[in-house]
Amino acid sequence: MEEEFVLAKVYDPHQVEQKWYTFWEKQGYFHADEQSSVEPYSIVIPPPNVTGSLHMGHALNNTLQDILIRYKRMDGKNTLWLPGTDHAGIATQYVVEKELAKEKKTRKSLGREKFIERVWQWKKEHGGIIIEQLKRLGASCDWARERFTMDEGLSQAVREVFVSLYEEGLIYRGDYIINWCPRCHTALSDLEVNYKETEGKFYYIHYPLKKGKKTIIVATTRPETMLGDTAVAVHPEDERYRDLVGKEVILPLMDRVIPIIADEYVDKNFGTGALKITPAHDPNDFEVASRHDLPAIKVIDESGKMNENAGQYRNLDRFTCRERVIEDLKRQKLLKKVESYIHNVGHCYRCNVIIEPTLSKQWFLRTAPLAKPPIAAVKEGRTRIIPPVWEKTYFEWMENIRDWCISRQIWWGHRIPAWYCKSCGELMVLREDPKTCKNCGSKEIEQELDVLDTWFSSALWPFSTLGWPKKTRELEVFYPTSTLVTGFDILFFWVARMMMMGLKFMGDVPFRDVYIHALVRDAEGQKMSKSIGNVIDPLVMIEKYGADSFRFTLSALAAQGRDIKLSEDIISGYRNFTNKLWNASRFVFLNLRDYEVDENFKPFDYYSLADKWILSRTSKLIQTVRNALDNYKFNDAANSLYHFIWHEFCDWYIEFSKERLGSNEKEKAFRRSTQQVLVEVLDIILRLLHPFMPFVTEEIWQKLPGTKGSITVASFPKENVDLFNQEVEEKVEILKDVIYHIRNIRGEMHIPPSQKVEVIIFCENKETESFLKNYRNYLIQLALIKKLKFSKSRKRPPASATAIVRGIEIYVPLEGLINFEEEEKRLNKEVAKVEKQLTFIRKKLTNEDFLHKAPREIVEKENQRYQELLEKQKKLKEGISRLIEMKNTD
Ligand SMILES: [Zn+2]
Ligand SMILES: [Zn+2]
C-alpha cells in the first residue's frame, strides 16, 4: 500500500489552508499576464475601506468573485482579479482622530501636514488587515497589482479627471445648501445622512405685522433658525392670507422687517399654512428664496454655534439658543403654543450628530449630461444588470440625478487641485502645482482646503487601477472589465458613477455585467448589527469550520434577489458536507492500492452498469454547474454539486462500486475499470468544486493519481455528451427503487445490518425480471440479501413483508428473523411514546401564551418537531399493520 495515497482520518482545515495559499501565491497562479493573447476575464474588487475588517457582506461579495475568477481561470481565460483598498476619507480620518484623542491631541493641534503623515502611518500599520483577511477566505487576487485610491497613479487619474471636467465646465463652485455635520466639520451627501424618527416639538410663533396689531402665525421645529429668516411664505390660493401677501412683518427678537410672499411650495394644510423662510439653513427654503430673490442670512457656524448674525444669541450652541429663543418669545407673549411632534431628523452617518443644513461654497459636478450615456448603455445591453429588477432603480436614479457635491471639508483625501490668488482673486485649476498667479504673477496663492468626496476616486477605479491616464497594455487587455460583483446599497454611490466616468473617459462601459447580490441577515431575517448583537464574524467561522465550509454555505444560500438568512448551524451543517467529501475520497484512495495510471487500458470495454450511470450523471452535472455559473446562479451550482456528491456519488455509486472492487484476480480488468471511473469522477467533482472550496479540493486532488501542478490551474471540466445515457439512468432508477423498498422493510422491522435477509421477487414483465436477474449482485450487496429468488407466481410466502414498486412485487420472509409478538409489543410501545410526546407539543402549540412570548425560532422548531413525530407515528403504524397482515396470511 502506497502511503502517499492515504488521506488523514479527519480533515483539518488548519493544516491545509495556509499551506496551499502560500503555494498558490508562490507559483504565481493569481497573476494575470498582460502580454498574453488569450481571451481575458477581469474583475475589479469593490475596494474595501482601508479601515475595514472582514464582515459578512465582504465575505459574501468576495466569495462570489473568487468563484467566478477561479472558474474562469480554470476554464482557460487570462484571468485578472484586481484587488485594492479605498482611502475612505471621513471614516479613516475619524479613526485616526479617535486615536489622537487618546493622546489628548486633535488634528488641529497637529496641523494638516502632520495629521496627514499620521494617517499614512496608521495606514502602514493597520491598513493591511482586511487584505490578510481576504487571503484567509481564499481570495485569488492578483496581489502584485494591489492598488490604493490614494497611491500615486490613482491620484494622478483623479487630478486629470478633475481638471478636464473643470475645463469642460462640468465642475463648478457654487452656493448651496448642504448637509453639514457640525462635529465632523464636513459636508455630507444626501446618501450619507441617516434619517431617524425623533420626538420633537412644533412651536407656533406670532410674527407681528409691521402695520396694525395683527400677527401671522408660523410653526417650526427649529425656532433658532428664525434668527436667519428673510420672509414668510403662504400659498397663493390660500384665502386666509390673500390680503397679507406683499405686506411686511417684524421678525421677533431681531426686529428686522421681512416680506410676506406667495409660493406654491407652501402646503396650505400643514401647520398654519404660513411658513418661515430661512434660506441659509433649509434646502427647501433655499429653493423658495432663489425664486423670489431673497437674501440668505447664515446664523449658525461650522461648529453648530450661533454666529455674529444671531445678535444677542451669538456664540450660543444651536440647541441652547433654541431654549433661549423660546423663553424670550414666551416672555414677549409671542409663543402661541407648543405641540409634541414626531418627525424625521437627519443624523451624520459617521458620528450620529444632528445634521445642520447650511449654506456654503462647495464644488459641484454637473451630472445630468454625464448620466445620459450610462442610461443608454444599460438600455442597449452594453452593460447588463443582474438580476434585472435592479435596472428600474438604476434608471430612476440616473434620470432624476442631482448635481453631485464633490467637496468635503476634511483633510484626508485628494485635495482639490485649485488655487486662489490672494492678490487678484484669480481661481486656477491645474494639472501641475502653480508657483505664482498666472493672472497677476503674485506669489500669494493658496490651494483649496477641501478634499474630494471619497466616491470621486472610486468612480475611476475600473480604469485608474489599470494605469489610466497612461495608455497601458493592461487597459487595452482588461478594460472593459467582465463582471462587477456588488451589493445593491452602493448601486448609486458607486456603480452609477463608475458608469458615468468610464463612458466619459474611456469611451466604453467599465463592465459588461453587474451582478448585484443580496444582504446577509441573521437566521430570523434581521439585519446583522452590533447593537442587536446578532453579528456573525466571518473570521470566527473560518477558524471554527474552515474557509471551504464557510464559502460553500454562502454560495449555497446566494439565490438571486433573496436575502441570505445565515446561522452558525447552517455553516456547521455544510462542514458535514466537507467531511463527506473527505471520507468519500478516503474510500477511493483506499481502493487504489493496486492502481496505476495506464494510458493503454481501455476502461469502456469493461464498464459496469453503475459505471455508465455515474459517468452519465457526472456529465450532466458538469452541464448544470457551468450553466448555473454562467448565469450567476451560484446557489444552483452549489446545490447541484451538494446533491450529486452526497446522494448520487456517495449514497449510490460508491455502494455499487464495491461489487466490482471486490472482484477477484480473474476479473482484474473489471476492478481496474471501476477504479478508473472512481478516479475520473472524483477528479471531476474536485475540479467542479474547486471554485467553491479551494483548499480541501487542492489537498485531495494533489493525491489523486495522474494529477500534476495544481487544481487552481487545472482545466474546468467540460461535459461529454457521448456519455449521456438515458437508458442506463432509467435502469439504475429501477434498481434504486427495489433496494430502497427492501431497506425500508428492514428499517421498519428493526432488522440489524448484520442480519441478512431472504428476498423473493415476482415480476410480471419478463424483461424487467431478466434485467433484475442480470444485476442481482447489486441488490444482494446493497440490500443485504443472503438469498435472492425470482418467483414464477404472485404467491406470497408465509410471514413475509411485501412491497410493490413499478409492478415488481417484493417479499421478505421474516419467520425466524423477528419475534412477531415481541416486535408488535415494541412497536406499540414506541407508538405510545411518540403519542405522548405529540400531546405534549400539541398543548404547547395551542397555548396562546407560549405562541406570543416564545421567539419565532423556538416556535418554528417545535412545529418542525411535531411534523417529524407525526411522520414517525405514521411509519410505526405502517409497521404494525404490516405485522398484522403477515400474521393473517399464515
Ligand atoms: Zn459627523
Ligand atoms: Zn493674482
> Quick one: which ligand is closest to 188's CA?
1
Rounded Cα distance between 367 and 446, Å, is: 28
Note the helical H segments in 269-335. Answer: 283-292, 318-331
Answer whether residue 2 shows pLDDT above 50.
Answer: no
In this predicted model, what pLDDT tens digit does every residue of 280-304 receive, in sequence order?
999 899 989 988 989 999 999 999 9
Q: Which ligand is nearest to the CA of 428?
A: 2
* SS3 call for 50: coil
Which of the four pLDDT bands, split at 50, 70 and 90, describes residue 796? confident
Cα–ligand 1 centroid distance for 354 (angstroms): 8
Specify burial of residue 804 (Cβ count, 10 A radius: 0-12, 13-18, 19+): exposed
Round to whole Å and give the CA distance between 91 and 248. Answer: 47
The ligand that comes nearest to the alpha carbon of residue 185 is: 1
- Asked, as a colleague might, if the bond just before 223 is cis with ω within 30 of 0, I would say no
Residue 577 exposure: Cα atoms within 13 Å on the Cβ side: 27
Bigger pLDDT: 257 vs 861: 257
For the stretch 339-390, pLDDT in tens is 999 999 999 988 899 999 998 889 999 999 999 999 999 999 999 999 999 9
Supply the pLDDT for residue 1: 41
| Strand order across the 193-208 sheet | 215-220, 193-208, 335-348
DSSP output for 392-434: HHHHHHHHT---EE-EES-SSS-B--EEEETTT--EEE-SS--
**Rounded distance from Cα 158 to ligand 2 centre (Å):** 26
Range with top average pLDDT, 428-437, 520-529, 785-794: 428-437
Q: How far apart are CA 869 and CA 841, in angstroms?
A: 10
Cα of 436 from ligand 2 centre, angstroms? 8
Task: Give me the mean pLDDT over the 854-869 stretch.
Answer: 86
CB 304 within 8 A of CB 185: no
d(CA 90, ligand 1 centre) in Å: 9
DSSP at 317: B
Backbone angles phi, psi at 216, to 5 degrees: -115, 135
- Write out the residues surrounding ion ligand 1, Cβ under 5 A: 181, 183-184, 348, 350-351, 353
Does residue 627 surpass a pLDDT of 70? yes
Ligand nearest to the CA of 436: 2
Give residue 91's pLDDT band: very low, low, confident or very high (50, 70, 90): confident
Q: What is the DSSP letter of 379?
A: H
Interval 749-782: pLDDT, tens: 888 889 999 999 999 889 999 999 999 999 999 9
What is the per-residue pLDDT for 565? 92
pLDDT tens digits along 168-202: 999 999 888 889 999 988 888 776 789 999 999 99
CA of 13 to the centre of ligand 1 (A): 43
What's the whole-number mean pLDDT along residues 817-845?
87
3-state helix, strand, coil in the chain (%, to 5): 50, 20, 30
pLDDT (0 to 100) of residue 444: 94
Q: How far is the CA of 433 from the centre of ligand 2 (A)?
A: 15
Reading the block at residue 579, the C-alpha cell is 467531511
CA 351 – ligand 1 centroid, Å: 4
219-237 per-position pLDDT tens digit = 999 999 999 999 999 999 9
Percent of the chain predicted with pLDDT > 90: 73
The confidence score (pLDDT) of residue 663 equals: 65
What does the alpha-carbon distance between residue 304 and residue 316 come to, in Å, rounded to a whole number?
A: 9
The ligand that comes nearest to the alpha carbon of residue 437 is 2
Distance 314 CA to ligand 1 centre (A): 23
Q: How far apart (Å, rounded) are the C-alpha atoms in residues 772 and 761?
A: 9
CA of 50 to the centre of ligand 1 (A): 19
Ligand nearest to the backbone CA of 350? 1
- In the chain, the amino acid numbered 370 is L
Distance CA 302, CA 313 (A): 16
Query: Residue 218: is its pLDDT beyond 90?
Result: yes
Please count the helices (runs of H) and the strands (runs of E) in the chain: 29, 29
State which amino acid sits at residue 323.
Answer: E
What is the 126 CA–ligand 2 centroid distance (Å)? 43
pLDDT at 5 over 60: no
Decide: 265 and 288 in contact? Cβ < 8 Å: yes
Q: What is the DSSP string of 101-128?
A: HHTT--HHHH-HHHHHHHHHHHHHHHTT
Given a cut of 50, whether residue 638 has pLDDT beyond it is yes
Ligand nearest to the CA of 303: 1
**Ligand 2 geometric centre to CA of 167 (Å):** 19
> Which ligand lies nearest to the CA atom of residue 446 in the structure?
2
CA of 93 to the centre of ligand 1 (A): 11
pLDDT at 815: 81
Q: Which of 198-207, 256-265, 405-414, 654-663 has the lowest mean pLDDT?
A: 654-663
309 CA to middle of ligand 1, Å? 24
Per-chain mean pLDDT for the chain = 92
